[in-house]
Amino acid sequence: MKVLITGGAGFIGSHLAELLLSKGHQVTVLDNLSTGRLENIAHLETEPNFQLVVGDILNETLVDKLVERADWVFHLAAAVGVDLIVKDPLRSLMTNIKGSEIVLEMVYRYHRKVLITSTSEIYGKNASGPLKENDDRILGSPLKSRWSYSTSKAVDEILAYVYWKQKSVPTIIVRLFNTVGPRQTGHYGMVIPRLVDQALKGFDLTVYGTGLQSRCFLYVKDAVEGMVRLMEHPNAVGQVFNLGNQGEISIKALAEKIIALTGSPSKVVYIPYDEAYEEGFEDMQRRVPDISKAAALVGFTPTLDLDGVLQLVIAHLRDQMASVLRPAVVL
Ligand code: UDP
């Protein structure tokens, strides 16, 4: 297949590109390199089936051309990370809503199949047991950036669903729950690369709030495997799927685990949300996915648990640090 990945130089997109290439597909990545990075895909440069187009998802003419040439489109280009969304809400909303609108319109124009990546942020403050795809969304004020982000992704989902219902465009929606692994950066707030980086440098690990809030972390290679299986399955069309891992951990316990695994002398410090993000910031206390739908349709099962993922992230960041550190010259 000829595959277009929007946002393919990002953390998840680059792993997806790798998987698709290994399956013999032709991959074109469209990325404006705002949060995507060349080093994520540098190792793919010599692959004959790989092409990078540096450009913006809001450039309709460009997206038109690229979608026309593709069979499948994985739409990942979006503003990522709570930190970025809080700092630049306008750009985040534009990229998410307008970008998806453009992609869906082009996919409709050329009768292509598209997978739209959504997020567990959709469920908002719903902290009940494992969240099923049709569970309620519980949100705060739309004037708070976190909830407006959640709403922007919900608009993407609605658009994708309506294009399917009304125009028979084959769309699939995937909600990713805290995807982690090598190449993820802590620059946009993501907790695991941030805390591992702090531990390796001997800095205090910054836990926000009480640290009793919990998350479930999905290994990125499991996430992209699930996405490709859903794209390949004819019955996934017109539906939404959670992709996540069900192993739950509090952020406090996560920080302690990272200290133990790295053998770091660092300590944990607690930072109020108002200081970490913005005044009135609200967090989710708990977010556990129900993954039975994707498991039943395509046999989705995470292969790596949190300890396994942390080992990989620690090794990756250690390598990265070693490659930039130069020995001091002693005279
Ligand atoms: N978090 C933290 N310290 C950090 C970054 C994040 O304690 O340096 C917390 C954050 O407040 C949240 C959890 O870790 O409760 C997961 O944050 P992340 O941004 O990775 O994902 P999300 O909030 O989208 O689940």
Q: For the segment 196-210, what is each residue's pLDDT rounded down to a tens digit?
A: 999 999 999 999 999
Interval between CA 284 and ligand 1 midpoint (Å): 9
Q: What is the pLDDT of residues 202-240, one digit of tens each?
A: 999 999 999 999 999 999 999 999 999 999 999 999 999
Interval between CA 167 and ligand 1 midpoint (Å): 38
212 vs 251: CA distance, rounded Å: 6
Q: What is the pLDDT of residues 33-60, one digit of tens each?
A: 999 999 999 999 999 999 999 999 999 9
Say whether 277 is catalytic: no
Interval between CA 248 and ligand 1 midpoint (Å): 14
Q: Return the pLDDT at 81.
A: 74
Tell me the sheet residues that pair with 26. Answer: 2
141 vs 89: CA distance, rounded Å: 14
Q: Return the pLDDT at 278.
A: 84
Q: How confident is the prediction for the chain on average, in pLDDT?
A: 95
Using the predicted structure, report yes or no on whether residue 331 has a pLDDT greater than 70: no
32 vs 78: CA distance, rounded Å: 11
Using the predicted structure, report yes or no on whether residue 325 has a pLDDT greater than 70: no
Using the predicted structure, report yes or no on whether residue 91 has a pLDDT greater than 90: no
Average pLDDT on 180-201 reads 95
Q: What is the pLDDT of residues 274-285, one digit of tens each?
A: 999 888 888 999
Closest ligand 1 atom to residue 283 Cα is 15
User: Which residue of the set 123, 149, 163, 219 is catalytic?
Assistant: 149
Q: Where are the alpha helices (DSSP H) in the chain?
A: 11-22, 38-41, 60-69, 82-87, 89-110, 145-167, 191-201, 220-232, 251-262, 273-276, 292-298, 306-324
- For ligand 1, atom 17: residue with the closest CA: 191
Contact 309, 219 (CB under 8 A): yes
Tell me the sheet residues that pair with 244. Answer: none
Interval between CA 15 and ligand 1 midpoint (Å): 22
Q: Return the pLDDT at 280.
A: 85
Using the predicted structure, report yes or no on whether residue 328 has a pLDDT greater than 70: no
62 vs 77: CA distance, rounded Å: 14
Interval between CA 253 and ligand 1 midpoint (Å): 13
**Does residue 219's CB lie within 6 angstroms of at least one atom of ligand 1?**
no
- Tokens 């130069």 — which residue? 326
Residue 313 pLDDT class (50, 70, 90 cuts): very high
**Does residue 283's CB lie within 6 angstroms of at least one atom of ligand 1?**
yes
Q: Tell me the pTM.
A: 0.95
Q: What CA–CA distances, in Å, run from 79 to 83, 93, 100?
A: 10, 8, 12
Alpha carbon 295 to its chain's center: 20
36 vs 55: CA distance, rounded Å: 11
Q: Is CATH 3.40.50.720 correct for 2-179+218-245+289-302?
A: yes
Interval between CA 155 and ligand 1 midpoint (Å): 24
The CA R_g of the chain, rounded to the nearest whole Å, is 20
Closest CA to 120 of 153, 161, 162: 153
Q: What is the pLDDT of residues 103-156, one digit of tens each?
A: 999 999 999 999 999 999 999 999 998 999 999 999 999 988 889 889 999 999
Using the predicted structure, report yes or no on whether residue 164 has a pLDDT greater than 90: yes
Question: What are the structure tokens assigned to 85, written together?
Answer: 């969304």
Domain boundaries, the chain: 2-179+218-245+289-302
**Does residue 184's CB lie within 6 angstroms of at least one atom of ligand 1?**
no
Average pLDDT on 60-84 reads 93
Angle made by CA atoms 322, 326, 329, in degrees to the nearest 5? 150
Question: What are the structure tokens assigned to 130, written together?
Answer: 């494992």
Q: Return the pLDDT at 329.
A: 60
**Does residue 190's CB lie within 6 angstroms of at least one atom of ligand 1?**
yes
**Does residue 207's CB lie within 6 angstroms of at least one atom of ligand 1?**
yes
Average pLDDT on 146-167 reads 95
**Does residue 218's CB lie within 6 angstroms of at least one atom of ligand 1?**
no
**Does residue 208's CB lie within 6 angstroms of at least one atom of ligand 1?**
yes
Residue 188 pLDDT class (50, 70, 90 cuts): confident
- Choose which residue among 188, 215, 270, 271 to substitute to test ligand 1 binding: the one with the highest number of ligand atoms within 8 A of its C-beta: 215
Closest CA to 121 of 95, 155, 166: 155
Residue 327 pLDDT class (50, 70, 90 cuts): low
